[in-house]
Chain A
Amino acid sequence: MSASQNLRRGEVAIRHLSKSYRLNGTPLPVLRDINLNIRSGETLAIVGASGSGKTTLLRVLAGLEDPDAGEVLIDGKRTRGVGTDRAVIFQEPRLLPWLTVLDNVGFGLETQGLFRGAARERARRYVQLVGLQQFEGAYPRQLSGGMAQRVGIARALAVQPEILLLDEPLGALDAMTKISMQQELARIWRDEDVTTVLVTHDLEEAIYLADRILILPREKGGEPRLIEIGLPRPRDRSAPEFVRHREGLLHLFGLH
């Protein structure tokens, strides 16, 4: 879509990243010495049991939380706090209820200083991309959960970030909407060449969408593992290789 194809931007390097929270005064380590390279344009899924720190890792990448030690480099540059090179899609759509669908999608463009007319045009394109052109003028309270989340996705894509960070974006949706949204995300990512980090607790979702899966260990002593999903797209959930990946992952979690 953009000129990023030959520049290959959006490369992330995580170096010796550690983070702990304080629980009643005692430090509770969440992330311990994480090292990882995320390739330009790839989709990396992060899975792990609850409490494994996958959301924390995403929030550190987003700049919403500071690490205790270590650093995050984007295209070789150390990040400091939030930045417009990254866009976050949260589990809740987090739409501004007083803005229409179109203005919500244009929100990020406007805060980043785009002129109103140009922002509207681009916002309109992304509203179309997620298939909500009929609802441009609707307010968030008139939308279903799945539609609202599409607006959140369009808002994030509209700023054309180098890195897209998703924190269990489909976790609150019903099973049917979830599958259709997964298909749609796969379609969108085929066209938008953007580095994507997807935190999810849904193993099938991870296999369906990701190039690689990072598995955060449940025990604090364990090592994080990386799995390459080399399946062609669009992926078939019932293909033997797909099923094999799922069984492998379940096995890793001790669920088989």
Chain B
Amino acid sequence: MSYEHVNTSLAAGFGLGRAEGHSTAIPAIASRWRALIGFIVARYGLVLGFLAFWQLSSTVGWVNPAVFPPLDVILSALWSGLASGALLDDIAISLQRSGIAFAAAVAIGIPLGLFMGQVRFVEQALDPILQLFRQTSALALYPVFILMLGLGETSKVFVIFWATLFPILLSTIGGVKEVDNKLVEMARTYGAGPLTVFRRVVLPASVPAIFVGLRLSATTALLLLIAAEMIGANKGIGFQVMNAQYNFQIPLMFAAILLLALLGLAANALLVLAQRNLCRWSQPNA
């Protein structure tokens, strides 16, 4: 009996979308618009307010427009940079540097983390040195990498790789170590060997933790990219930020900064999307 009741209440939850269609059309559309506007205000109200305040204080002269140019000036600098192709080269080289480094960190960090998380003694042997490396700032090591690899692309990619490797590696190890042993035991009673247990239990259970590492790493990759491009580069978005400031092209400087922020948002959005698709089971509203 109690189960029938659970049945219907869950089914009602599933049918929520359909139930809305029953109300009359016009009030439904109006209330949907109101809900949408309410959502936008609640979610992005502060950002929009901040941007409006920037535009206003710069045009009215509350702040020095030479240091904080109005947003329309920044946007037009961004547009002309993109339209002339000058900024496109910078974007391409920056994406290439951070992309290669990130891909290498993923390719090494995830398999190594899966292995280390499973084999207790390997993890115990490697953990102290990993902690030491992780706590050493990648930026502090950048001069060492330059000495080792020269001032070219290799040292730039390597410093980003170095900084992005650890979040991925450590999250993956953590994910594997936290796999519920009761699930592993259950799988074993159904005749699952070590490989099947890994493939069907350990790996899927670690995916959410791995994504935490990936998102942390993506942020770190952009951070290190800019730092690396500010030292000894003649191309790249980070270089543009510094260069525009030297030449007092302040709108261009802000345009490059804005570009970086957008890149970060895009990278994060991509990862969130991938996570949603891979971990549909853990989403509250899947």
Interface residues of A (CB under 8 A from B): 62-64, 82-84, 86-88, 90, 92, 94, 96-99, 107-108, 111-112, 131, 134-135, 138-142, 144, 146-147, 159, 176-177, 180
Q: List 17 A-B contacts (CB under 8 A).
A: A62-B189, A63-B189, A64-B188, A83-B191, A84-B190, A88-B189, A90-B186, A96-B183, A96-B200, A97-B281, A98-B282, A99-B281, A107-B200, A111-B190, A112-B190, A141-B282, A146-B2
Cβ-defined partner of A146 (8 Å) among B3, B187, B207: B3
Chain B residues touching A, majority SS: helix
> Could you say which of A86, A134, A146, A147 contacts B189, with CB atoms under 8 Å apart?
A86
A97-B281, A107-B200 as given contacts; A64 in contact with B6, CB under 8 Å:
no
Q: Are B10 and A98 in contact (CB under 8 A)?
A: no
Beta-carbon contact of A94 and B182 below 8 Å: yes
State the CA gap A140–B196 with chains docked (Å).
21
Instruction: Report chain B residues within 8 Å CB of A87.
Output: 189-190
Contact between A98 and B279 (Cβ–Cβ < 8 Å)?
yes
CA distance A86 to B186 in the complex (A): 12
Report B169-223 residues with CB < 8 Å from chain A CB.
Answer: 182-183, 185-192, 196, 200-201, 204-205, 207
Q: For the complex, is B135 an interface residue (Cβ under 8 Å from A)?
A: no
Pick the residue among B2, B7, B188, B286 that contacts A176 (CB under 8 A). Answer: B2
Answer yes or no: B11 CB below 8 A from chain A CBs.
Answer: yes
Shortest CB distance A103–B (Å): 10
Query: B6: which A residues are within 8 A, CB to CB?
Result: 144, 146-147
Query: For residue B201, which residues in chain A have a CB less than 8 angstroms away from its CB?
Result: 96
Chain B residues with CB under 8 Å of A63's CB are: 189
Contacts of B207 in A (CB 8 A): 98
CB nearest to B13 among chain A residues: A142
Known pairs A63-B189, A96-B183, A111-B196; list 16 more (Cβ under 8 Å): A82-B189, A83-B191, A84-B190, A84-B191, A86-B189, A88-B186, A90-B182, A98-B204, A98-B205, A107-B200, A111-B190, A111-B192, A112-B191, A138-B10, A139-B281, A176-B2
Q: A142 with B10: in contact, given A98-B279, A111-B196 (CB under 8 Å)?
A: yes
Q: A96-B201, A98-B204, A111-B187 are in contact. Are A147 and B3 (CB under 8 A)?
A: yes
Size category, B interface: 20 to 34
B212 to chain A, nearest CB (A): 16
- Are A159 and B3 in contact, CB atoms less than 8 angstroms apart? no
Neighbour of A141 across the interface among B1, B187, B281, CB < 8 A: B281
Interface residues as binary, B139-174 with A (CB distance below 8 Å gives 1, 0 otherwise): 000000000000000000000000000000000000
User: In the assembled complex, how far is the CB of residue A160 from the closest CB belonging to chain B, in whole angstroms?
Assistant: 12
Instruction: Name the distance in Å between B199's Cβ and chain A's nearest Cβ.
Output: 10
Chain B residue nearest to A144 in the complex (CB): B6
**In whole Å, how far is B58's beta carbon from the nearest beta carbon of chain A?**
49
Q: Which residues on A sit within 8 Å (CB–CB) of B196?
A: 111
Q: A92-B182, A111-B190, A111-B192 are in contact. Are A98 and B281 (CB under 8 A)?
A: yes
Residues of B close to A62: CB separation below 8 A: 189
Closest B residue to A84 by beta carbon equals B191
Q: Which residues of chain A are within 8 angstroms of B279 by Cβ–Cβ distance?
A: 98
Min CB–CB distance B208 → chain A (angstroms): 10
Q: Nearest Cβ distance between residue B283 and chain A, in whole angstroms?
A: 9
State which of A84, A86, A90, A134 has its C-beta within 8 Å of the C-beta of B11: A134
Ranked 10 nearest A-B pairs via Cβ? A108-B190, A94-B186, A98-B281, A111-B192, A84-B191, A98-B204, A139-B281, A111-B190, A88-B189, A144-B6
The CA-CA distance from A86 to B189 in the complex, in Å, is 8
A113: min CB distance to chain B, Å: 8
Contact B3 A82 (CB under 8 A): no
Return the contact of B286 from the options A99, A135, A139 (Cβ within 8 A).
A139
Verify A64–B1 contact, CB threshold 8 A. no
Q: In the assembled complex, which residues on chain A have CB atoms less than 8 Å from the CB atom of B286?
A: 139
Query: What is the CA–CA distance of A108 and B189 in the complex, to the nearest angstrom?
Result: 9
Tell me which residues across on chain B come within 8 A of A92, comparing CB atoms. Answer: 182
Q: Could you tell me the distance between the alpha carbons of A212 and B226 in the complex, rounded to whole angstroms?
A: 74
Asked whether, in the complex, the Cβ of A177 is within 8 Å of the Cβ of B2, the reply is yes
